[in-house]
């Protein structure tokens, strides 16, 4: 099959992988397509929660009699090691698939660069086609595996003249922008804010897209002195998956968290007398939080950009000016973003007069 066709099928596989990005726990989201005689036999992706793997799913969906001498297109090098499940290569060999075309090598040392050696003795050929789109897609997975930190996405919404609060209206951006921002909540394991934002906005911090409510992120609150108010919305929700990080102990406030079945962890302060965010990242990684969304206020966002904790940033920008109704201008943050990130891209999303700027 031509290289052009190979790239076509790998792009299709990548589109499948993107559907479950951030939803597969410690495993990467992978897309897989099985083809024979230029006809697609099956297509699938890594399951939500990370198992079964994409290759397993695609094989199960195909007719067994068709798999012999077929070609498998997969975005990431199939696993060759025994983990919580047997290696995907065992299934490939068993079903007599004759060729594997993949986009990126894995970073997992148990599997990395071992595919060809594992399969060649069974007369299964392998071919890697490196594509920038696939390499870019797995940057977050490689970062998580290498650094053992969550991959952090931050966002802010502002007016056209860079204010994040309005004296008159609660919402600055339009409904389309707000719905799109909820997709970020769906795509991340957890969402983090400060107690200052918690007390001021009293948010629910859930995903409010119809059909995706069950995929609301875990709520992470930074509350150094346990200054949270009572009767907050996060205490009223039935699903109280929430974690507080604090430094100054307050027995009464801790007992309230315990009563509400909310986890809490004491962390050290950094040299600026703030909660040590590196320590928090390590703890979140141990709690299997791999993708973290930050919807902080001005000061938290500014601090985390300055300390290089943020991997990518989404700025939701309204087409309207607030002028004298605006509060908390963020031009300083915009300057930070332009200095800290190499790539600045206006996303091609139809939000009417609003727009999204992605910094990476």
Q: In this structure, which long-range contacts are made by residues 145-148, counting pairs with CB atoms below 8 Å and at least 24 apart in sequence?
A: 145/107, 145/108, 146/107, 148/282, 148/285
N residues, the chain: 360
Q: How far apart are alpha carbons 112 and 170 in whole angstroms?
A: 49
For residues 18 and 137, is the Cβ–Cβ distance under 8 A? yes
Q: What is the CA 114 to chain-centroid distance, rounded? A: 27
75 closest CA partner among 48, 50, 45: 45
353 is catalytic: no
The catalytically annotated residue of 21, 55, 77, 295 is 55
Structure tokens at 117: 């050696």
Region for residue 322 given its phi and psi (left: phi exceeds 0; alpha: psi -120 to 50; beta: otherwise): alpha
- Please work out, in degrees rounded to the nearest 5, the angle formed at the alpha carbon of residue 72 by the alpha carbons of 115 and 8: 115
Q: How far apart are alpha carbons 14 and 183 in whole angstroms?
A: 19
Supply the DSSP symbol for 268: -
Q: Catalytic residues, which ones?
A: 55
């Amino acid at each position: 099959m031509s290289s052009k066709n190979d790239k076509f099928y790998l792009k299709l596989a990548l589109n499948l992988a993107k559907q479950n990005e951030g939803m597969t726990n410690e495993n990467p989201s992978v897309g897989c397509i099985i083809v024979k005689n230029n006809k697609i036999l099956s297509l699938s992706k890594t399951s939500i929660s990370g198992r079964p793997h994409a290759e397993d799913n695609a094989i199960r969906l195909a007719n067994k009699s068709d798999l012999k001498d077929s070609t498998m297109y997969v975005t990431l090098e199939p696993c060759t090691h025994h983990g919580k499940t047997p290696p995907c290569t065992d299934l490939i060999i068993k079903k007599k698939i004759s060729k594997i075309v993949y986009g990126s090598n894995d970073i997992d040392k148990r599997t990395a660069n071992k595919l060809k050696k594992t399969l060649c003795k069974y007369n299964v050929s392998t071919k890697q086609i490196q594509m920038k789109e696939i390499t870019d897609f797995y940057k977050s997975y490689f970062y998580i595996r290498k650094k053992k930190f969550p991959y952090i996405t931050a966002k802010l919404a502002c007016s056209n003249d860079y204010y994040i609060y309005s004296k008159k209206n609660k919402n600055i951006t339009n409904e389309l922008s707000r719905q799109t921002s909820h997709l970020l909540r769906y795509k991340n394991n957890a969402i983090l804010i400060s107690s200052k934002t918690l007390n001021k906005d009293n948010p629910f911090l859930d995903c409010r897209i119809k059909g995706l409510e069950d995929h609301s992120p875990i709520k992470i609150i930074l509350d150094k002195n346990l200054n949270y108010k009572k009767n907050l919305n996060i205490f009223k929700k039935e699903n109280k998956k929430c974690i507080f990080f604090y430094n100054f102990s307050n027995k009464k406030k801790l007992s309230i968290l315990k009563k509400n079945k909310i986890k809490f962890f004491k962390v050290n302060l950094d040299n600026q007398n703030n909660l040590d965010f590196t320590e928090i990242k390590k703890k979140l990684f141990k709690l299997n939080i791999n993708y973290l969304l930050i919807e902080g206020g001005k000061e938290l966002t500014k601090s985390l950009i300055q300390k290089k904790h943020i991997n990518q940033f989404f700025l939701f920008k309204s087409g309207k000016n607030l002028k004298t109704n605006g509060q908390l201008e963020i031009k300083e943050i915009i300057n930070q973003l332009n200095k800290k990130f190499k790539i600045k891209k206006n996303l091609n999303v139809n939000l009417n007069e609003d727009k999204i700027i992605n910094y990476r």
